[in-house]
């Protein structure tokens, strides 16, 4: 896949995801605002109905005292519905207006006067008389009622809010009105004056915020039509309002979860795309390196075979020996390269078929050092060994584990730089584990490369010069084999100082056969 195609795909995915986020955020915001607006309308309507009922109760109480002389403060049934209060008030007014022994039933349903004066009182005269009498009684009742209302308004101007509102009844009224309007959240309220000074605080057993948010405070003026210097306000606070709004949006959770899932898929897709691109580049480098590594011995063998077939070349024993040595060395070199390529098959299997045997690691490492020392000394280097592991018996595959140690020592030789190689091999025990360290004084590995040295096909950059041969499989092969021996490997390195590999494997005593 071309780089341009990858970036276009990434940009398209980003734009799509950003669009989804914007739409989802807007949808969530609109729903939250709609739920909050509906809640606010219900609360404001409830507060207005509450103060209206309080005002009506006060008016009915005063009129009742005026008309009947009853003390409504001692009436436990004052929380009447508005219709019941109106009916009771109408009866009081009708009773007062019926002073000349005229019952309300008679006012509502006048009778027919029969003539007792031989035609002096007719039905028409009786009707006019009743109408006139009703108008007089109604006018009188209205006058009395107007006077009572006027006195009530005048007397309430100088009264404190505590004298006009029964706080115990207010709690019940407010609670019932809120429930009737669909508001069932816990709340607490207070009564304040126009300067914000608290006149009364409720004593509900819920958490009361010291400084509630303005969005959670609802205010309604008592007796809103009055213009008084002693105005009072009802303030109601809902501490759990935000939780209520969030809980009301539970239906949005699946869409939010889907959005998160899309984001995860998007990130995973990007990682896979870049890894595949990187792996493709590594494979291309591998093919180029493999071609370069295999071409040289093949060319040398081909040239040697041509020399044997050329009649112009003398076939002296020395020349034949030289040509045969060249063919042998190059064939051996070609075999080693092919063997490294075949190591790729190890990575295609979930688990290699290891042939485990009880091996003394100290003896195995000593043999490898003995065989490898000639290469080191030929370049002016030196190998130092300190095989001090007392419990050195482990279950290992001798062939693969030998390749692990050999690859690490061979890397130390390859990356020794211009200075003589000083290679130190150590073994020791840590509890029931066996540790093997291979330390050199070579060119070292940078921190960026150090994180990836065990990746397949990855090679530490040495510039545009093929001075170090390889396919980037050696350390990946080492890590896989060590892992399949139920061990692990770590690396420590500093540039221009050296590198140290430490292998940890279980001893025979500590080996887990599962």
Using one digit for the tens of pLDDT, what is the confidence trace for 26-63? 888 888 888 889 989 999 998 898 888 887 777 777 66
pLDDT of residue 70: 45
For residues 149 and 66, give the distance between their C-alpha atoms in angstroms, rounded to a whole number. 10
Q: Which two tokens stand for residue 466?
A: 């093929």
Q: For residue 243, give the nearest of 290, 291, 201, 206 by alpha carbon.
A: 206
Q: Which two tokens stand for residue 407?
A: 């690859």
Span 464-475, average pLDDT: 57
For residues 397 and 493, give the distance between their C-alpha atoms in angstroms, rounded to a whole number. 28
For residues 313 and 319, give the distance between their C-alpha atoms in angstroms, rounded to a whole number. 9
Residue 200 φ/ψ, nearest 5 degrees: -150, 140
Alpha-carbon distances, residue 6 vs 15, 266, 420, 473 (angstroms):
14, 13, 47, 28
Q: Which domains does the chain have, with CATH numbers?
A: 1-248 (no CATH), 252-342 (1.10.287.130), 352-510 (3.30.565.10)
Span 421-427, average pLDDT: 91
pLDDT of residue 437: 94
Residue 406 has pLDDT above 80, yes or no: yes
* pLDDT per position as a tens digit, 223-263: 787 776 778 888 888 888 888 888 877 777 787 788 888 88
Q: Which two tokens stand for residue 289?
A: 């390196």
pLDDT of residue 73: 44
Three-class secondary structure assignment of 422-485: EEEEEEEEECCEEEEEEECCCCCCCHHHHCCCCCCCCCCCCCCCCCCCCCCCHHHHHHHHHHHC
pLDDT of residue 207: 62
- Give 135's pLDDT tier (boundaries 50, 70, 90): confident
Residues paired with residue 358 on neighbouring β-strands, in sequence order:
395
Sheet holding 198-201, edge to edge: 198-201, 188-193, 232-237, 217-221
Question: CB–CB of 396/361 below 8 Å?
Answer: yes
pTM of the model: 0.44
Kind and range of the H or E run holding 386: strand 382-387
Residue 90 has pLDDT above 70, yes or no: no
More confident residue, 436 or 484: 436
């Amino acid at each position: 896949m071309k780089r341009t195609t990858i970036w276009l795909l990434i940009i398209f995915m980003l734009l799509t995801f950003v669009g989804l986020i914007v739409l989802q955020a807007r949808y969530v915001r609109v729903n939250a605002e709609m739920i909050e607006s509906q809640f606010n309308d219900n609360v404001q309507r409830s507060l207005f109905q509450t103060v209206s009922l309080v005002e009506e109760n006060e008016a009915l109480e005063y009129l009742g005292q005026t008309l009947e002389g009853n003390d409504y403060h001692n009436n436990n049934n004052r929380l009447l519905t508005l219709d019941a209060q109106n009916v009771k008030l109408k009866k009081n007014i009708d009773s007062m207006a019926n002073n000349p022994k005229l019952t309300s039933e008679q006012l509502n349903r006048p009778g027919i006067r029969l003539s007792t004066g031989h035609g002096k009182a007719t039905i028409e005269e009786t009707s006019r008389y009743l109408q006139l009498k009703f108008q007089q009684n109604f006018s009188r009742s209205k006058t009395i009622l107007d006077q009572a209302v006027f006195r009530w308004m005048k007397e309430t101007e100088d009264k404190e809010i505590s004298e006009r509102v029964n706080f115990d009844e207010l709690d019940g009224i407010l609670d019932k009105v809120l429930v009737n309007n669909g508001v069932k959240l816990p709340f607490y309220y207070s009564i304040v004056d126009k300067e914000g000074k608290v006149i009364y605080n409720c004593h509900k057993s819920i958490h009361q915020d010291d400084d509630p948010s303005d969005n959670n405070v609802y205010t309604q003026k008592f007796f809103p039509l009055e213009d008084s210097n002693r105005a009072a306000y009802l303030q109601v606070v809902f501490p759990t309002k935000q939780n209520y709004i969030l809980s009301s949006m539970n239906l949005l959770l699946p869409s939010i979860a889907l959005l998160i899932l899309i984001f995860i898929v998007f990130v995973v897709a990007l990682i896979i795309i870049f890894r595949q691109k990187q792996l493709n580049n590594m494979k291309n480098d591998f093919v180029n390196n493999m071609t370069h590594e295999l071409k040289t011995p093949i060319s040398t063998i081909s040239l040697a075979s041509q020399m044997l077939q050329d009649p112009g070349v003398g076939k002296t024993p020395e020349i034949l020996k030289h040509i045969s040595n060249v063919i042998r060395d190059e064939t051996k070199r070609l075999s080693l390269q092919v063997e490294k390529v075949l190591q790729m098959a190890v990575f295609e299997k979930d688990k290699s078929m290891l042939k485990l045997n009880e091996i003394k690691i100290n003896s195995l490492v000593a043999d490898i050092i003995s065989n490898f020392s000639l290469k080191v000394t030929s370049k002016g280097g030196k190998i130092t060994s300190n095989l001090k592991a007392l419990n050195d018996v482990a279950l290992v595959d001798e062939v693969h584990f030998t390749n692990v140690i050999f690859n690490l020592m061979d890397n130390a030789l390859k990356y020794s730089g211009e200075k003589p190689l000083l290679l130190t091999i150590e073994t020791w025990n840590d509890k029931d584990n066996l540790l093997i360290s291979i330390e050199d004084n070579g060119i070292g590995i940078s921190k960026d490369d150090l994180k990836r040295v065990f990746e397949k096909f990855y090679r530490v950059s040495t510039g545009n010069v093929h001075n170090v041969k390889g396919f980037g499989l050696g350390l990946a092969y080492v890590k896989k084999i060590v892992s399949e021996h139920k061990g692990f490997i770590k690396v420590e390195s500093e540039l221009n100082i050296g590198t140290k590999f430490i292998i940890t494997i279980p001893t025979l005593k500590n080996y887990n056969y599962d």
